[in-house]
């Protein structure tokens, strides 16, 4: 694949998943420095920021210092404009991350709060790559995917050396796009996002190449997404065409057999996939506010929704955004069986508790206004939280356009607690019911709480109307919420989300609504 084609693929990928519904304004500005090349409008700083023109640096490098709140602490990477992407925590507690604008691997020590950055001497100056995949093998070596150059890197922490391997293209594609990385025992799995394959290799392989085995994706779908393995060793992943559907695939490594399950029609860009302790698969749809679970026993998909994004994330200064979405991306389970996911354009991390039927969403403190419809609105934008990892009781993440890594502590007490009078209701089409939404303050609140709602059926099927949209919660409060079914509503079971948003925290409960 030639360099121009690679760039077009990278741009297409970014267009679909990063900037598809947000306004990207490459605003003027940037830092004033000693040396200016007036031909390229590029201030030479001797840092990775030199990969961008001055006017583009606020968009891709950072707009301010690291920020924090009571739940989240951010740390500024010492080198400017590294564009951190993949992130993981090793067995010693050290945090590792890829720098997509330098080709280097970074390391953060949470105890000393110090950074180390390991220069990759084989990386060519001025090159960039979306380095999505990162994992540590049993022997301690770290593996990294490099989508732009169709490479996989191995980093040895002992001697700080890098070794590169060519990621072979499949027979059904003229190129490859190694994306996410899963290490399970000694086996490593990489999805070839545009190459219609899953690559498998042994992390203890010694030789000039990876010794990779290709698992061709069935069918002719454009994209092959990230993967997960179940208890029996089967590989699960999705194949799809943007906004045109696709399949959930199960591949039996013992027999070589594929089993495919058609995805629901409203899944448009299934990226993240993970598995819970019961064997259910959980899939994130990056083109909406929805996520889904799939039960391999019943062969049934169930649809879930996030809350609507906060206005601080999308801005809407133009007034053109009528239905903002959150775009959930990747997902991981924690030790308590809760599902974590990043909401890319909501600038948030969400945690869904299947047993409590609850959702908590945390807004990231840093916000880059150049990726949203912010206009002159203050404290607006997204930091492009494109990857995260769950390490026992902490959630670590990267901010791709703010040059930060951050950590969320979910043990910090929430400001409010919410309950509902009903966990499930049944109504007939053309009828309605009222449920009670109870809000209990856990601290003294300085501002009113906003009542937010969402549902998986859509406004033409179900409407959800709270009696109040802003409530002062100095004592426990109850809000009546009317749930109505359209006269022509299709029978089925749907989820209604009712939440309370206080500053940068949204706490919600789900109600199962059956229409008859």
pLDDT at 331 over 70: yes
Whether residue 7 is predicted with pLDDT greater than 70 in this model: the reply is: no
DSSP readout, 263-283?
PPTT---EEEEEE-TTS-EEE
Q: Tell me the pLDDT band of 156, cut-offs 50, 70 and 90.
A: very high
Q: Is residue 1 part of a domain?
A: no
Arithmetic mean of pLDDT, 319-333: 96
Query: Cα separation of 167 and 180, whole Å?
Result: 13
Rounded percentage of the chain residues whose pLDDT exceeds 70: 92
Q: Does position 462 have pLDDT exceeding 70, yes or no?
A: yes
pTM of the model: 0.93
Identify whether residues 320 and 406 lie together within a single domain.
yes
Domain match, 394 and 452 both: no
Q: pLDDT class for 444, splitting at 50, 70, 90?
A: very high
Q: Which residues pair with 408 in a beta bridge?
A: 72, 395
Evaluate whether residue 69 is within a structural domain.
yes
* Claim to verify: residue 358 and residue 424 sit in the same structural domain: no
- Say what the pLDDT of residue 463 is: 95
Residues 6+ apart with CB under 8 A from 109: 94, 95, 115, 116
Average pLDDT over residues 10-37: 35
Q: What is the pLDDT of residues 230-272, one digit of tens each?
A: 999 999 999 999 888 999 999 999 999 999 999 999 999 999 9
- What is the domain count for the chain? 2
pLDDT of residue 40: 62
Residues 356 and 449 in one domain: no
CA distance linking residue 464 with residue 146, whole number of Å: 45
Residue 483: give its domain's CATH number.
Answer: 2.60.40.10
Q: Which of 389, 412, 435 is a domain's end point? A: 412
- Given 350, 381, 412, the domain boundary residue is 412
**What is the domain range of residue 324?**
59-127+306-412
Q: Are residues 319 and 372 in the same domain?
A: yes
Quick one: average pLDDT of 77-81? 98
| One domain, residues 429 and 488 | yes
- Residue 203 CB: number of other CB atoms within 10 A? 19
Do 403 and 455 reside in the same domain of the chain? no
Task: Work out the average pLDDT over 186-206.
Answer: 94
> Do 460 and 381 share a structural domain?
no
* Residue carrying structure tokens 């409590």: 356
Report yes or no on 64 lying in a domain.
yes
Residue-wise pLDDT tens digits, 277-313:
999 999 999 999 999 999 999 999 999 999 999 999 9
Cβ atoms of 175 and 4 within 8 Å: the answer is no
Measured between alpha carbons, how far is residue 119 from residues 112, 130, 419, 442 in Å?
21, 17, 51, 47
Q: Identify whether 280 is part of a domain.
A: no
Is residue 2 very low, low, confident or very high in pLDDT (cuts 50, 70, 90)? very low
pLDDT tens for each residue of 127-147: 999 999 999 999 999 999 999
- Which of 412, 443, 473 is the last residue before a domain boundary? 412
Query: Do 325 and 396 lie in a common domain?
Result: yes
> What pLDDT shows up at residue 473?
98
Mean pLDDT computed over every residue of the chain = 92
Residues 423 and 479 in one domain: yes
Query: In the predicted model, what is the mean pLDDT of residues 385-408?
Result: 97
Residues 316 and 402 in one domain: yes
400 and 315, same domain (yes or no)? yes
């Amino acid at each position: 694949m030639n360099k121009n084609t690679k760039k077009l693929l990278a741009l297409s990928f970014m267009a679909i998943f990063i900037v598809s519904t947000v306004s990207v304004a490459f605003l003027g500005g940037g830092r004033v420095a000693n040396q200016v090349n007036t031909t390229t409008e590029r201030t030479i700083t001797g840092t990775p920021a030199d990969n961008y023109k001055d006017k583009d640096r606020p968009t891709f490098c950072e707009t301010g210092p690291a920020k924090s709140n009571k739940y989240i602490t951010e740390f500024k990477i010492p080198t400017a404009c590294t564009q951190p992407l993949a992130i993981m925590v090793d067995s010693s507690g050290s945090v590792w991350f890829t720098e997509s604008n330098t080709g280097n691997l970074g390391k953060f020590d949470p105890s000393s709060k110090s950074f180390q950055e390991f220069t990759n001497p084989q990386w060519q100056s001025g090159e960039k790559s979306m380095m999505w995949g990162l994992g540590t093998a049993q022997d301690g070596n770290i593996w990294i995917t490099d989508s732009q150059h169709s490479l996989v890197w191995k980093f040895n922490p002992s001697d700080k050396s890098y070794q590169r391997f060519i990621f072979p293209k499949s027979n059904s594609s003229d190129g490859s796009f190694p994306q996410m990385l899963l290490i399970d025992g000694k086996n490593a799995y990489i999805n070839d996002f545009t190459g219609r394959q899953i690559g498998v290799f042994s992390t203890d392989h010694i030789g000039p190449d990876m010794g990779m085995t290709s698992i061709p994706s069935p069918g002719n779908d454009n994209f092959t997404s990230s993967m997960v393995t179940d208890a029996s060793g089967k590989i699960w992943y999705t194949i799809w065409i943007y906004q045109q559907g696709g399949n959930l695939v199960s591949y039996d490594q013992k027999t070589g057999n594929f089993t495919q399950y058609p995805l629901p029609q409203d899944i448009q860009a299934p990226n993240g996939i993970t598995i819970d302790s019961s064997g259910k698969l959980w899939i994130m749809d990056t083109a909406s506010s929805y996520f889904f679970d799939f039960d391999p026993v019943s062969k049934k998909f169930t649809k879930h929704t996030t809350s609507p994004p906060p206005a601080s994330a999308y801005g809407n200064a133009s007034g053109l955004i009528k239905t903002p979405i959150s775009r959930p991306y990747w997902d991981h389970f924690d030790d308590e069986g809760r599902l974590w996911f990043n909401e890319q354009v909501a600038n948030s991390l969400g945690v869904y508790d299947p047993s409590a039927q609850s959702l908590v969403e945390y807004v990231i403190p840093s916000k880059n206004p150049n990726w949203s419809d912010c206009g002159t609105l203050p404290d607006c934008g997204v930091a492009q939280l494109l990857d995260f990892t769950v390490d026992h009781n902490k959630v670590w993440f990267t901010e791709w356009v703010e040059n930060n890594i951050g950590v969320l502590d979910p043990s910090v007490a929430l400001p409010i607690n919410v309950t509902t009078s009903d966990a499930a209701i049944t109504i007939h089409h053309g009828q309605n019911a009222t449920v009670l939404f109870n809000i209990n303050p856990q601290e003294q609140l300085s501002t009113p709480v906003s009542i937010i709602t969402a549902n998986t059926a859509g406004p033409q099927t179900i409407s959800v109307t709270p009696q109040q949209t802003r409530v002062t919660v100095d004592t426990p409060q109850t809000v009546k919420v009317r749930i109505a079914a359209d006269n022509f509503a299709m029978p089925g079971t749907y989820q209604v989300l009712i939440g309370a948003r206080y500053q940068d925290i949204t706490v919600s409960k789900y109600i199962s609504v059956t229409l008859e």
